[in-house]
Amino acid sequence: MWWFKNCAMAMFLSLVVFVLTCYSVQSHPQCLDSQPPFKPNAKRMWCKDSFKLGCCTKRDDSKLKALYDTALKTVNAQNKSQCKRYLSKVVCLKCHSWSAHIYDVEANPNYNAKAALPCLGWKFCTNFVTHCAQAIEYIYGAAMKTRNITLGDFCRESEVALNKDLCYPKIKKTVRQLKNSKPDNIARGLNATQKGCLCVREVIHNLRNPLALLHANDQTHRMFIVEQIGLVYVILPNERKLDTPFMDIRSKVLTSSAFGDERGLLGMVFHPKYRENGRLFVYYITKKVGNKKKTDPKEWWLGTSVAVLSEWRVSGADLNRVDQHSEKVLMSIEQPKGNHNGGQLLFGKDKYLYVFPGDGGAAGDPFGKFGNALN
């Protein structure tokens, strides 16, 4: 077992706990186009909540008012008076200063404006459907067709979000709480019962050199923790860590229990379309083929090794396991020393996979063809 041996790792674990427990604190005002909200240049707005700060211009506001008027005409006469207050609130959510979260734009990599539904709390939504059924069909008919759902599925679909504290109308309370939170409350260590307190609690413990915390962009809202020894674990949305690893490549990974050993499973990334293709990529250090020379584990940085970039696929039978026989080695990079071997993997906006292999180890990059060419 390889346990924490320095402050950096302890700090990383604290970050893991913080990220898992404080989604709402990380959220921020943002519009559907990913731009910050603004004060519209208008004396008055139909969407009153966006008058001081919102995501709509006066022209946008007028278009939404016209949409509201037309949709309301489709509603049965006996429901029209009740429908008005629900319909106006929902139509104006596109102008809300937190609309990117209400529509789950950031958390959903497959966001499609034509199929988007606002996140609505269950009670509010069921009342909305009861009184405004025809208006919903008029406004969201195309989106429901794209999603292949009926009016009976509308509330179940609209409530799907990473953080239900950001669904309407609960988001009003969430925003008020955030506005009342003061940075000095954290410094003073206010307890959990005090208003405006930021509380941190331990969610997972007994991790062995966790190097990465990431998600798969597959709308399951799971998190994945990568351990340097060659293990990857799944954390479910209810914060439970599955006992069976998502990935176990300890037999392939070269590392040791020596203090400061920088080798191991160093990087992992999910394909941007992982939800459709189940592909993921890892970067790890392994033994160099044919190298029979034994190195003292305490001098791990002196030995040569190979960095491997490989592609894997998720199991067709269990989304919480990779297919252990699916590895496809894409690249092997000779590493002259055991340190500075890099490991970061990222997909750019251009959809290309970027690999950061490090400078090969040892001070001054003395290995000629290796390193960063400054030697």
22 to 25, 203, 214: CA distances (angstroms):
5, 12, 15
Asked if the structure places residue 184 within a domain, the reply is no
Sign of CA dihedral 33, 35, 36, 38: negative
Residues 234 and 134 in one domain: no
Q: Do 374 and 362 contact (CB within 8 A), yes or no?
A: no
pLDDT over 50 at 189, yes or no: no
Task: Report the domain count for the chain.
Answer: 2
* Residue partners of 352: CB distance under 8 A and separation at least 6: none
User: Is residue 16 situated within a structural domain?
Assistant: no
Based on the domain organization, do 238 and 144 belong to the same domain?
no
Task: Look over the chain and give the mean of its residue pLDDT values, rounded to a whole number.
Answer: 81
Question: What mean pLDDT do residues 31-57 have?
Answer: 87
Work out the angle between the directed axes of helices 77-91 and 58-72 (0-180°, nearest 10). 160
**Residue 193 confidence (pLDDT) above 60:** no
In a domain? residue 343: yes
The alpha carbon of residue 367 and the mean position of all alpha carbons in its chain are separated, in whole angstroms, by: 39
Higher pLDDT, 341 or 296: 341
Q: What's residue 16's pLDDT?
A: 42
For residues 208 and 67, the model is more confident at: 67
Q: For residue 363, what pLDDT band results from cuts at 50, 70 and 90?
A: low
Indicate if 109 and 222 belong to the same structural domain: no
- Predicted pLDDT of residue 238: 86
Task: Confirm whether 149 is domain-assigned.
Answer: yes
For residue 330, report the phi and psi dihedrals to the nearest 5 degrees.
-95, -30
- pLDDT of the residue at 266: 94
In what helix (H) or strand (E) does residue 368 lie, and over which residues does it extend?
Answer: none
Residues 238, 170 within the same domain: no
The predicted-structure confidence for 249-281, as pLDDT tens digits, reads as follows: 999 999 887 767 788 999 999 999 999 999 999
Residues 139, 217 within the same domain: no
Q: Which domain holds residue 62?
A: 58-178
- 341 with 226, same domain: the answer is yes
Residue 352 identity? Y
Tell whether 169 and 216 lie within a shared domain.
no
Q: Which residues contact 142 (CB under 8 A, 6 or more apart)?
A: 114, 115
- Tell me if 361 sits within 8 A of 341, measured CB to CB: yes
Beta strand pairing call for 247-248 and 210-214: unpaired
**Residue 214 covered by a domain:** yes
* Distance (Å, whole) CA 181 – CA 190: 11
Main-chain phi, psi angles of 210, to 5 degrees: -70, 130
Tokens representing residue 62 in the block? 């007028």
210 within 8 A of 226, measured Cβ to Cβ:
yes
What is d(CA 160, CA 166) in angstroms, rounded to the nearest whole number? Answer: 11
Q: Which of 62-66, 185-189, 250-254, 310-314 has the lowest mean pLDDT?
A: 185-189
Say what angle helices 122-147 and 77-91 make with each other, to 10 degrees.
Answer: 80
The most distant pair of C-alpha atoms in the chain lies apart, rounded to whole Å, by 86
Q: What is the pLDDT of residue 30?
A: 85
Pairing type for strands 305-313 and 279-286 reads: antiparallel
Instruction: Please determine, for residue 192, whether its predicted confidence score (pLDDT) is greater than 70.
Output: no
Phi, psi of 265 (to 5 degrees): -80, 110
Least confident of 55-59, 294-298, 319-323: 294-298
Q: Does residue 87 sit in the same domain as residue 146?
A: yes
How many Cβ atoms are within 10 Å of 243's Cβ, its own excluded? 7
Question: Which DSSP string corresponds to 91-153?
Answer: HGGGGSTTHHHHTTTTT-TT--GGG----B-HHHHHHHHHHHHHHHHHHHHHHHHHHT--GGG
Q: Is the peptide bond before 169 cis (omega within 30 degrees of 0)?
A: yes
Same domain, 218 and 117: no
- CA separation for the pair 22, 199 (Å, rounded): 8
164 and 84 in one domain?
yes
Q: Residue 351 pLDDT more than 50?
A: yes
User: Is there a domain that residue 192 lies in?
Assistant: no
177-182 contacts at long range (C-beta below 8 A, 24 or more positions apart)? 178/24, 178/25, 181/25
- The residue behind tokens 């005409």 is 73
Average pLDDT over residues 116-122: 91
Pair of tokens at residue 152: 């009976």
Higher pLDDT, 211 or 13: 211
- Cβ-based neighbour number of residue 301 at 10 Å: 18
Please check whether residues 168 and 239 belong to one and the same domain.
no
Looking at per-residue pLDDT, the higher value among 4 and 236 belongs to: 236
d(CA 253, CA 249): 6
Report yes or no on 9 lying in a domain. no
User: pLDDT confidence of 15, banded at 50, 70, 90?
Assistant: very low
Residue 354 pLDDT > 70, yes or no? yes
Q: What is the pLDDT of residues 133-159, one digit of tens each?
A: 999 999 999 999 988 999 999 998 886
Q: Is residue 193 part of a domain?
A: no
Determine the average pLDDT of the residues in 74-79: 94
What pLDDT is attached to residue 197? Answer: 63
Q: Are 151 and 219 members of one domain?
A: no
